[in-house]
Chain A
Amino acid sequence: MFYRESGQFKASYAADQAVFPIRQDQYGIAAILLVAFFVIPYMGDEYFFQAIMVPVLIFSLAAIGLNILTGYCGQLSLGTGGFMAVGAVACYKLTTAFPELNFIIVLLLSGVITAMVGLLFGIPSLRIKGFYLAVATLAAQFFLSWLFNKVAWFQNYAPSGTITMPPREVFGVLVTGAASNAMHRYLFCLIFVIVLAMAAKNLVRGPIGRSWMAIRDMDIAAELIGFRPFQTKLLAFSVSSFYVGVAGAMALSLWLGSVETAEAFDINVSFQVLFMIIIGGLGSMMGSFLGAAFIILTPIVLTNVMVGSLGFQAVTAKHFEFMFFGGMIIMFLIVEPQGLARLWQILKEKLRLWPFPY
């Protein structure tokens, strides 16, 4: 199998601007999609869907959201968990208030509500930058957690303080609630995430993506050539929050089923998603998927190998996991800030020239 683009000439700007301009990449993506749609559903079991595929897909979406804000627009946020909580609560309130409302609409509206909350918390970005903005988003995280915990209305006054997703159908197939089939939930997540990821890719490769990156790389020059920094950043905050909110709504409805909001979407989740985009690659759509898969899979693999095969204690494995992630993050920040996505790209560049060294 040769990874070459020789002989492939682009006859139009449209072809040159395609998402996967190289034919081998197109085959690769087609193969991945075939496996995702036609092999995994028949091979996977309940555990595989519930513990691996569904969370990887949902966190990929959250990582895409944060990557839009941080990777593309350069605004660091530590409030991802809080915004996922907004999405989850919005989903719960919407679907309990309007049980007849189509579940897909509920998910999208949850995203829109989160986008509006995100817009609100994006306003300080006019004045503050970098570290201080990160602290402001951290404040958002704690405020939102506190709010959903304190105000019983958000839990429909449930004495347990938890929110539970009622069963909902999409085109006659049950996708939420305890009775739903894990494979169906997986397929629903897959389709939903692919569609939203394509929309995000379209955004970042077009004029809006360029405006975000311009602000990220040099906001003063961006302003001098006609971009409006404030509007551009606010758009990034809202679009980012939309994705994070939908991910939160999906986490409640298609993955966890029942959560205590403040606990399920705490500050650790914010950091987890941040690590996903650092390890996967800042400013890369593919990196969002790679990073999510890496962060979700590593603990599972480590536990299986260390506890299952090597006979270590579970706590030891957990400690090793912390050290491992810490090491990885430091390594990526120092050695390869563009993450796994960049390593993959370097590998492809090498393959393109192989066997010649240059």
Chain B
Amino acid sequence: MSAAEALEPETILSVENITLSFGAVRAIRDVSFDIRKGEIRAIIGPNGAGKTSMLNVINGFYHPQEGRIMFRGAVRKQMKPHEAAAGGIARTFQNVALFRGMTTLDNIMTGRNLKMDKWRTSLIPAMFYYGPTQKEEIKHREYVERVIEFLEIEAIRKTPVGRLPYGLQKRVELGRALAAEPDLLLLDEPMAGMNLEEKEDMCRFVLDVNDEFGTTIALIEHDMGVVMDLSDRVVVLDHGEKIADGTPEDVKSNQNVIDAYLGVSH
């Protein structure tokens, strides 16, 4: 690493002048910000500010009408979700989006799908199973077991996730995203609807993921306490526009942000 790079942290992703509309609804208006390698970047804002839409743009689920995205130095205009996944972006959802009929183990195993060898898991070897497919399954099972251990969900390994309480479902969903060994992890309100204890656990996991694996995290969260504790930098959206960007302290004292949260009309 050169001296210049050490001084100026590397940007893993930047969104530039993104505008996204749904018919007459302008969900995002000319928003730009960047995410640096290894940081925890919070995206906050009142309901309907466009936070979830922003994550959907980043992982290729929505295609913005204007603007561009730089990911790892390359410009992209349009990208399919599975391409974003292959590029190292994983995410969790505001409303848990697990595969309800499958067990915890199988759900997290699906997170490994892009890491699995294409040939070894293709139709003919998979029909025989014993041999290449089993080898591949066991190899990835070992990784998945590490994720399960990390998230302390050993006891629910074989439970269909549809039967789990909400807090645990959110944890399994994080596990599925972690199994992909992402470079950039997008978390959409990972602590929503949790009690205090569950929230504390989740905060610990987010910090540990960031520390131990060096994973870059973009996090949407409503709980300001959590945001202040976890994040390195915060971007604030309101009515689809960026109204502030900076350290948690900067943002907290920003007049625009205070107005937005108190509902002062523009």
Residue numbers of A with Cβ under 8 A of B are 12-14, 17, 199, 202-203, 205-208, 210-211, 213-214, 216-218, 220-228, 235, 239, 283
Contact = CB atoms under 8 A, between A and B. Distances in A.
Interface of B: 59, 61, 81-82, 84-86, 90-91, 93, 97-102, 106, 109-111, 113-114, 116, 121, 123, 126-129, 133-134, 136-138, 141-142, 145, 176-177, 180
27 contacts: A14-B138, A202-B126, A202-B127, A202-B129, A203-B123, A205-B129, A207-B113, A207-B121, A213-B102, A214-B99, A214-B102, A216-B101, A218-B98, A221-B93, A221-B98, A222-B99, A224-B61, A224-B85, A225-B90, A225-B110, A225-B111, A225-B113, A225-B180, A226-B86, A227-B82, A228-B82, A235-B123
Contacts of B81: 223-224
Contacts of B111: 225
A205 B93 CA distance: 26
Contacts of B127: 199, 202-203
A217 B121 contact: no
Question: Helix, strand, loop or mixed for chain A's interface?
Answer: helix
Contacts of A235: 123
Contacts of B133: 202, 206-207
A207 B133 CA distance: 8
A17 B137 contact: yes
B121 A206 contact: yes
Nearest to B173: A221
Q: Which of B85, B86, B114, B129 has the most CB of A within 10 A?
A: B129
A226 B121 contact: no
Contacts of B97: 218, 220-221, 224
Contacts of B109: 207, 210
Contacts of B113: 207, 210-211, 225-227
Contacts of B176: 225
Contacts of B85: 224-226
Nearest to B121: A207
B137 A210 contact: no
A222 B111 CA distance: 9
B164 to A, nearest CB: 14
Contacts, number: 104
Given A17-B138, A206-B121, A224-B85, 8 more contacts: A202-B127, A207-B109, A207-B137, A210-B113, A214-B102, A217-B100, A223-B82, A225-B111
Nearest to B139: A13
B123 to A, nearest CB: 7
B169 to A, nearest CB: 12
B2 to A, nearest CB: 34
A206 B126 contact: yes
A226 B141 contact: no
A217 B106 CA distance: 12
A198 to B, nearest CB: 9
Contacts of A224: 59, 61, 81-82, 84-85, 91, 97
Contacts of A199: 127-128
Contact of B99 (A12, A14, A206, A213): A213
A22 to B, nearest CB: 12
Contacts of A17: 134, 137-138, 141
Nearest to B113: A226
Contacts of B128: 199, 202
Given A221-B97, A224-B85, A225-B111, A210 B126 contact: no
A283 B113 CA distance: 21
Nearest to A17: B137
Contacts of A214: 99, 102, 110
A354 B248 CA distance: 57
B126 A239 contact: no
A227 B106 CA distance: 14
Contact of A217 (B82, B102, B180): B102
A234 B257 CA distance: 49
Contacts of A218: 97-100
Contacts of B145: 13
Contacts of B100: 217-218
A239 B127 CA distance: 11
B135 to A, nearest CB: 10
Contacts of A220: 61, 97
Contacts of B114: 225-226
A210 B99 CA distance: 10
Contacts of A202: 126-129, 133
Contacts of A207: 109, 113, 116, 121, 126, 133, 136-137
Contacts of A217: 98-102
Contacts of A221: 93, 97-99
Among all A-B residue pairs, the 9 with the closest Cβ atoms:
A202-B129, A226-B85, A217-B99, A221-B97, A207-B121, A199-B127, A226-B114, A13-B141, A224-B81
Given A199-B127, A203-B127, A226-B86, A210 B110 contact: yes
B98 A203 contact: no
A83 B44 CA distance: 53
B102 to A, nearest CB: 5
B89 to A, nearest CB: 9
Nearest to B145: A13
Contact of A14 (B101, B106, B134, B136): B134
